[in-house]
A and B are shown apart, each in its own frame.
Chain A
């Protein structure tokens, strides 16, 4: 080991008192409940991970096809396919405990405030859950999901309702499909949110020019991948100016460079989404690369750069 390597940068971060070995968290919907990836690498190298968005009932999701591609990214209209909260608690979490020894981020969805409350109350009792990430930004379901994340009032109402039933840190996952994301983040903060995570996918559409028909059966889908990264940086930057609570940043992150950039904008931790689907080893690669990149950039402590772009 060379002298340079011995002076490894500290890449640990803390979210609402929860210390993560590193800021890397695979994003909900791209990592299932960890099982597929645990066959490929030891997932305990991750900071944490956010499991598949969970609703009260078991859901098939939207009709297929529900995957499309675009330049530098993809669209999905999966529509919250998940086993339902009871099966998640009864089967997925016990299975997860065997392969993942760290606190996990529980991604919770709903179609009504009652459902968010119901799910959060249940997941609150699970020891392995370190953070509850409340998804008020799914663009692929009607009468729920994003409907709660597009106005400050409804975002605040969900925040307040779930905060009342859990003592775990609550992070509201925000939609980029809004005019003023900072106002929504602020409303969540005022309603008691412990943090915010952003951005969810952008609503998009693809049409097959051979048939003139939509590629996605749902017509629209959430766009993700490197093509949305600059937008994520901008939104994290804006939200950082508006709130004091920590931000989990995401949106098109696929390298250690992206992680550093998003942290400069204001993210305390960073989620990696679509990149997991095309390179299943991307997270361990980023985690390995981060200390080296920090050394190269003269960063001794990763937390030192959080939001630093605002002072420069």
Chain B
């Protein structure tokens, strides 16, 4: 009954799984920031540790000024991808092995990041925001970097700019989709205990992929918004 068959406006289970992730993150945010105290405790402490850690790490790659501007975007990438990936660990979330492309049967929800359209959407946001920030920082001079180190490198530079988002999307999609597929297949063959190690691996993969995506995005933005004369 639940499937990839698109509902009105093309809403399929990748889309409402994305909504599920948004709802989870919203509830967690409210829990973390409700009744915030100067001296943190409990859940506020955990979330602060995460946010502050990521902030400090990215601050090292950007700088004190730029991190303030770009942190919300970068942190949203990280949290969205992380929670999406971990979403697949919940019961009733994942592919049905019979037809992994359709996700019928058990799959009410699915990690949104296991879909190329979803990761492509994330990557295209990276692509446009990187160049937007670049132009906002240096104006039209920003496009000069396409002609470095020699003007005839231009085609290669353009290819590189296009490859970046493609590799971001492919990497994330491949990792998560592959994980879900393996878990689903194993689940059909031996439902008890055997998928557990793969799921353990999934917790690692999920965090690493979210981290890699965020770090690469930060690198791209850092390169694009670098002031001349640095």
- Is this pair of chains taken from one and the same complex? no
